[in-house]
Structure 1
Amino acid sequence: MINTLNETSLHKSLKAIYRIQCNGKSEVKIGAYIADILCPDGGIIEIQTGTLGKLLKKTEFFLSEKRKIKIVYPLATAKYIETKDAATGKITRRKSPLKKNIYSVFKEITALIPILLEKNFTLEIIEAEITEERVKTEEPVQSKNKRRRFKKNWQKTGKRLEQTGKIFTLHGKSSYKKLIPKNLPDTFTSKDFFELLKKNAPLVKRNDANLMLWVLSKIEIISTVGKKGNAKIYSTQTKCYENVL
């Protein structure tokens, strides 16, 4: 039960959903690690609501044991902020301006480069509407993970799943190719790539597009073939892609 102590409601909800789907068992010790879900066929499902990179070593171990492993990562395409005043008990709720899409996840994917193309590894991105729970504090405080640059008068206490949406399954090169925009020319710059990507996902950020290019380069879907001024020129041999958005 050690792993359940710090679980958010979001993590528990997703773990329950996937455990039922595979008729598996929760919190099973395997080697030095505890698997979120162990399926009847010996495969493992890990739910990760935080940084994906934290699961790299654990995943590498399970892969070394010749087990299939799926990491499920909820992508907050809609987010609400719920703040409770501890003194009065009053709860306020507002919608966050946060706007994420499938391309937002490449910032996290960079940490998993060593295992992305392992035949027994799958990354499942599930769109989710979530509520972030906070409690108001009397004075500005540092976050529990010590990452705040400036103290704030609230503390995050958890995340809650409201509903799920579309699922993106990333397994093998073909799944990543499906995320590449249509009509990509044989050679292109990062600016060209970003402009085409925006046609399918208007809210995509330039940095997300650049990180996607970096990942695609690392898994050898595209390659750098030259420079145009200060801009790198990329190339791919595959001209036709299926856009999933």
Structure 2
Amino acid sequence: MSNRQDRPLAKKLLHALGLLALALFLLYVAVQFVLIFHRSYKTETAIRYTLAESLNLTGVVAFDAVDVPGSGNLGYLVQDGERVTNGTVVAECYTDDTQGLQRERLDRLERSITLLTKSQNSAGSELSVLTNQTKQALYNLLDKLDTAQYTGISDAQDSFLLAQNRLQISTGQTADFSQSIAALQTEYDGIKAQLDTLQTVTATTNGYFSRTEASPAIRTDCRALADADPATLQKMLADGFPAADTNRAGQIATG
């Protein structure tokens, strides 16, 4: 008889515990909603600021250099700052203006021959890869033209022509460029034979070459510069330095 009386009591107890658990869960959800939608944020104002300082100085840089004798209408074959070795031809002496144009033509012919020779090496390349390379090279060329990056236009143009030529060979539009290369080589050899008769200026030591226009035409004692105090250096700058020889094609920095 007692067991029958305990069953309703147990059911009521379980029901009450269930309601309590549900109430606690709903209370937890309500608290979370309040915290989420009524959360306050602390804000701060940040100011981006850049501080830069500059100091302009007047001075000289001294280094050991060897003059490269030469005069006249010179056409330089090496760039300023390029490293040369003893015997390297750094310039050639032109007797008329057409020879300078011939040198420019010779350089363009050499680039064209190299480009066409590379263009024939397209074996094994997939058409999709060549097409993508052509598009990318064209976009790069147009970007340099649009942004006025004129120093890189020649390389960008060569990259586009190389990709375009390889695409032509891959699709069968052109078998090869052997005839074009042969014609360009014939013209190249003829111009080179004429320029090979010109008088040249060669480097007499190893170092870094710079033209007369890019190198300081002054001569002084490096030891005197090293031992001078700031006041003496300021006076030397104000008085100037003795000019170097005028019969010079440039100089080679050796140290």
TM-score range, shorter chain: under 0.3
Q: What TM-score, normalized to structure 1?
A: 0.18
| Structure whose alpha-carbon radius of gyration is higher | 2
Higher relative contact order (CA 8 A, sep 6+): 2
Structure number with higher strand proportion: 1
Q: What TM-score, normalized to structure 2?
A: 0.17
